[in-house]
Amino acid sequence: METMLLNITILIVWLYVSFWVFKDAKSRGMNAGLWAAFVFLVLVIALPFYFISRKPKLKEDEDVKNETD
């Protein structure tokens, strides 16, 4: 039972990280689907590579964030 709970927790975290990478890559003008799939398939290798190679956020997102504050 404990092993199944641990596996479910790991899967939820894995999916959440993949979804976060998708949203973050999209906001930076990168290929979001490709990055999310890469992170989902090989999280341990892809996530550090994503952090190293990601682009700065698009100016458009910063303006929208400032308007809502």
Which residues, 6+ apart, have CB-to-CB distance to 15 below 8 Å? 40
What is the mean predicted confidence (pLDDT) over 15-40? 93
Using a cut of 0.85, tell me whether the model's pTM lies above it.
Answer: no
Q: Which two tokens stand for residue 12?
A: 């939820």
Model confidence over 28-50: pLDDT tens digits? Answer: 999 999 999 999 999 888 989 99
User: How far from 53 is each of 6, 18, 24, CA to CA, in Å?
Assistant: 31, 16, 12
- What is the overall mean pLDDT for the chain? 86
